[in-house]
Amino acid sequence: MSERHDLGVESQARYAFVADLLRRDFAAPADILELGAAPGDQIAALAREGYRATALDLGEAPDEWGSGEAGRMARLYAENGVVDVRWDLEQVPYPLPDASFDAIIMTEVYEHLSGYPVRSLQEIRRLLRPGGRLYFTTPNAAYVLNRVRVISGRSIATPLPDWIAGLPHARHFREYTFAEVRELMAYADLDVVETCSRHFHIDIGRTTPVARAGKRALAWLAEKRETLGPEIVVVAQRP
């Protein structure tokens, strides 16, 4: 990985948004699973609210996505009663029983999967109970700023240093559009019940008055026309 990202800090707005969606549909102590859970903050926070929580993650350099404190993710899980399953999401089936979860969270993970990532969605369908829901986010390949970058001759792929010497699972292998995500969900027999887009980084990164004004404008655009927003947010249900 070319640089450390403290997702425990950077992703708080997204965590809060996803948690609100989940709480609306399922009250604690529902059974929930987070796939690709590092650095652990999202699932640990939900466990503190009384959800029966399981985390499935590759477990390779998980603390590099947090503060860098060695053993932080494992400690978060132990302190909050999260079941810690170490597994590669590229390998199916996952070591969990059929129809064992009310809700599954998969945020900012799908774009990192290579091979045939639709298999992860098929596994999600298997693990969900009938009527169970998936809460899914991934970057939007057709984000308005990505369109501008392409027109100006710049790349929208993961920065080159991550392809030269970074951790393979940290790269974005492929990003998707809203239409593609709908097609993938349908292929896995998951019914899309809700979509939207949001800008979750208004209060992090560049925070000069001009930068914040620009981010607010992009956030407004994302809510008005989701296909131009930076994030794909989907709630899908097992029939």
Whole-structure pTM value:
0.93
* Boundaries of every domain in the chain: 7-237
CATH superfamily of 7-237: Vaccinia Virus protein VP39 (3.40.50.150)
Count Cβ atoms within 10 A of the Cβ of residue 208 and give its class: 0-12 exposed, 13-18 middle, 19 or more buried. exposed
Name which of 69, 54, 53, 55 is nearest 6 in CA terms.
Answer: 69
Question: 54 pairs with which residues across the strands?
Answer: 33, 83
**pLDDT tens track of the chain, all 239 residues?**
444 566 656 789 999 999 999 999 999 999 999 999 999 999 999 999 999 999 999 977 676 666 678 889 999 999 999 999 999 999 999 999 999 999 999 999 999 999 899 999 999 999 999 999 999 999 999 999 999 999 999 999 888 888 888 777 888 999 999 999 999 999 999 999 999 999 999 888 888 889 889 999 999 999 999 999 999 999 999 99
Cβ contacts of 114 within 8 Å, gap of 6 or more: 90, 173, 174
